[in-house]
């Protein structure tokens, strides 16, 4: 999974995709976050991800297990 905090950082995300694809050619890459949510068509065109998640997921009822 690759994402960025802001939609205008799509160029660095697209560069990360290319780098990961070079290192791990069999890996499936998913993008999500503000860029595909706000500009889904641009996210599909600009980033070479295998899957672009356009919808948000309500996690309010899910337990948080990540320690940032």
Region 7-27: what's the mean pLDDT? Answer: 82
Identify the pLDDT of residue 11: 80
Region 54-63: what's the mean pLDDT? Answer: 77
What pTM, to 2 d.p., does this model score? Answer: 0.58
Position 15 pLDDT exceeds 80: yes
At residue 15, φ and ψ (nearest 5 deg) are -65, -40
Identify the pLDDT of residue 23: 92
CA-based nearest residue to 51, from 30, 34, 33, 37: 30
The per-residue DSSP string of 2-44 comes to B--SSGGGHHHHHHHHHHHHHH-TT---EE-SHHHHH-HHHHH
53-62 long-range CB contacts below 8 Å, 24 or more apart? none
């Amino acid at each position: 999974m690759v994402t960025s905090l802001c939609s205008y950082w799509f160029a660095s995300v697209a560069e990360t995709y290319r780098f990961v694809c070079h290192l791990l050619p069999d890996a499936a890459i998913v993008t999500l976050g503000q860029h595909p949510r706000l500009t889904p068509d641009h996210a599909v065109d600009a980033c070479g991800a295998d899957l672009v998640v356009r919808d948000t997921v309500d996690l309010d009822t899910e337990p948080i297990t990540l320690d940032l």
